[in-house]
Amino acid sequence: NADLGEGFGVWTLGDDDAMLDIVTSANVACGFHAGDPASLRRGCQSAAERGVRIGAQVSYRDLAGFGRRFIDVSSEDLTADVMYQ
């Protein structure tokens, strides 16, 4: 298993294609801590082409903290964010 698509725009992190050659499942960043629509599409497409199972790597709205900081958010807003991702 590997976490993929953790860049956004011109900024990249890691070699997603190399990881997809050695894993059977991958979690693709859904845009709140990392990733963007283009990296999400690329990651899912590359995984599907290799027969790698895809999971959603959801997170808090925390680009600056890479989703690793505590964010005080209501249950209602958190549910909406997870559904959106």
HEC-encoded secondary structure of the chain: CEEECCCECCECCCCHHHHHCCCCEEEEECCCCCCCHHHHHHHHHHHHHHCCEEEEECCCCCCCCCCCCCCCCCHHHHHHHHHHC
Q: How many domains does the chain have?
A: 1
pLDDT at 19: 95
The residue range of the domain holding 17 is 2-84
pLDDT at 27: 96
- Mean pLDDT computed over 68-85: 92
pLDDT > 90? residue 77: yes
Is the confidence at residue 65, as pLDDT, over 90? no
CA distance 10 to 64: 16
Q: What average pLDDT is seen over the chain?
A: 92
Report the pLDDT averaged over residues 60-74: 87
pTM for the complete prediction? 0.82
